Chains A and B, each alone.
Chain A
Amino acid sequence: MAQGKGGRAVTHGAATGHAPAQSFLRRHVFSVDHKVIGRQYLDLALVAVVTGMVLSWIMRFHLGWPETPVPGLGKLAPTGAAGGVITPEFYLALMTMHGTIMVFFVLTTAPFAGFGNFFLPIHVGAEDMAFPRINMTSFWVTLAAFLVLVSAFFVGDGPPLSGWTAYAPLSAVGKDAGPGQGVGQTLWAVSIAMFCVAQLLGSLNFIATTLDLRTRGMSLARLPFATWAWFITSVIGLVAFAVLMPACILLILDRVAGTSFFIPAGLVISDRLQPHAGGSPLLWQHLFWFFGHPEVYIAILPGFGIVSQILPVFARKPLLGPRVFIVCLIAIAFLSYTVWGHHMFLSGMNPVSATLFSVPTLVITIPATIICLLWIGTLYGARLRFTTAALFALGFVSVFVSGGISGFFLAQPSTDIYLHGTYFVVAHFHFVMGVAAMFGIFAGTYFWFPKMFGRMMNETLGKWHFWLTFIGVYCVFMPMHYLGLAGNVRRYSAFTDDYLQPLIPLHRFITIAALFTGAVQLIFLFNLIRSRLRGPVAPANPWEATTLEWSTSSPPPHDNFGGHPPVVTHGPNEFGGVGPQDYVMQAEPR
């Protein structure tokens, strides 16, 4: 209690509500408890991922059989798919919404905001986030952003069709540019701007919590790997979303206020001269990709952390080179801001800068390769236990390697000349940020579910889920590399070009594999719901793990540690001892 100079008592800030709230609404809906908020984020991500996946099914079906009506779709979308036949603009709208929902509301929301919210405070030994109310605000803004985005399905011409990258001027000139480019595109921009605000607030919380609320003995070196990853992701997000938000504001102004930030003079769209002048389409691309490339790491770094945390647990030995791992994460975070131009090799920017952007892009593979080797090296001499979480973590390594390696082709301007804009790119980013991040989310779910809900998930169902998904995703995305090599352009709603005709059978194979892999996810959904209601009661530490969340009950009490903040005496990585207990928990007394 500090004594003010003027004699007035100055106390600590009012307690931030660590007593459990009483009303149902306060406890489960408008809760400031980070665990409730984390679950809310994950529930939102679940809704989003189901939505995004259904959209991709319709897209894939259309690509395989473009003229076959989709049963029932004519009723759901009478404008976009009259009689169930999908129009090109409806396909692009599905694609735009699929990309936007998946990148923002699944790959950012689940592994980062969802798991991070639930476990980061527990990992550092805190009762809650640094700013619980801001935390709650962050979730509700995210939810509102999602609703705004989805509402584009129900307005005028439907959702926008300019892709998740929303390149200007297509995204900026309004409805002359096509259906959905009116109100739908505006809603998109508003939604993303709101999402940026939410993520900035969230990142602020993550960073402040990690820096200031660590319990006694929890030095930075003893932070669990997942928390390191969330912390670094927050730093990336803090910069990336801070750039995307003003970019979206400028885009909205171009659309509704008649400014010309991104729209140059002399555009004639559908025979109409546009009343704009002087803007720069490349400016949008620079601003977007300055966010967009780091966003890839926002999606994948939490996966790195989750896998690095899970692998040692099931390998029963410490992660190889924990410090190297952290240094590599930091290196990736730093480099992620120097590479955005590799999305723009062919965009008309100065060709000299292509080489300048190519080099850091290739260099970033060094820390990524080191991390993969650390994981594989961790397996050396391990005593692997094959839980579903372990399988997904191992699967993560496999798909990340597959996705990462195709990056070599796209990072070089010379080979990008041919492969840019083809399915090779689709294959690359789906493996490296889509599938890999999803595997991270699955691994995290199977690993942490007992802690979050106090019940175990069904391992048999889990293993079926893993095997079918693992094989499925390779069948879906590996052939896309072949399509790309054959010059198959992406974002096409149908393949009418002569040279694409021979590729249609391969598209059908991918479609069947995608529908199959999608259907397999029903096993996961079923497991999730059944285990939440009827799974066996989970002990505090079912996996014999070391980090702080396993020191408290499953699920943790309201203040996480029952009024007894833990004192940390060990690192998170102490596995492999001999004796009945081969590990040392972080809070184990010396």
Chain B
Amino acid sequence: MAETRTLGEFLVERGVSRRAFLKYSSYLATLMALPPSAAEAMAEGLAKARRQAVIWLSFQECTGCTESLTRAFSPTLEDLIFNFISLDYHHTLMAVSGEAAENARLQSMAENKGKYIVMADGSVPMKDGGVYSTIAGRTNLETLHETAKDAFAVISVGTCAAFGGLPHADPNPTGAVAIQDIVKDKPVINIPGCPPIPDVMTGTVAHILSFGKLPELDDLKRPKAFFGETIHDRCYRRPFYQRGLFAKSFDDEGARKGWCLYEVGCKGPVTYNACATLKWNGGVSFPIQSGHGCLGCSEPDFWDKGGFYRPLPTPLASVREHVTEAAAAGAVLGGAAAWLARSQQNAYKSETKKPEEA
């Protein structure tokens, strides 16, 4: 529903003071590693912003991303974000509403033309006319085209939406593609992760609200503030890596001592995400802290990169069979070369002897 009040006005009516903005902004500034002084500017920006209309589309997905986001809905600071946005349509949360829900989407699109944000989770099937995922009798592709047309920006939530994710994994039976493969004429922000960190989702939206523009993105269109460093860079086990102390299996002495999980397949060094700093479940832990290597879930095709337990520096393909063939071929050519040289020598010998004998 088109909102005319600023967030400041809206919240003041609900008895939320500006201190809340400042506190939330301080929190976001910490999350996004913005300079502390940015918090005040951010708070001012938020107060002046309009409530943001958001349309949430779900395609080929597992609802894990939504779960992740709603897990942040404990009565804490972060739930402020839900005062900042107007979630006009959420397919999963509204599933029972049928036709009425679809109408809500169309109404919001009309009222907030060019201003609403589309948040999409899940990949879009392209094979066989996109029949593998439909909502209200329409393919995901149609829905996405229609909804994205008048959007301000599209935020791809989760690795499926950002890079194709699991549906896209080999052999990709549905011909699944990422949102960015379809939406070419609107700004796209990818917030990958399987699922993404809730604070990263809310932080990105808050950034757009307070600064009125997209955050700085990396080459995979991920907000640099959250995806600027690898898990490895920020991992508390990094010192063990430097000292060459590695767990060799999940139940050895090294694992018990909390040594680096590089050798049991941790993808931390090539995975850009904020897990090691923001952590999960209200800051309790993250996979490496819980004793398992990073799967690299915020990277494209993480499912097809040779296995979660295959250490990074090892070859992905089996080289040994080809090596045998190569050795055999080399042996044949080596033998042939030696044979050639020997027969050449014999020819020289008989040639050079001739004149003398003659």
Determine if chain A interacts with chain B. no
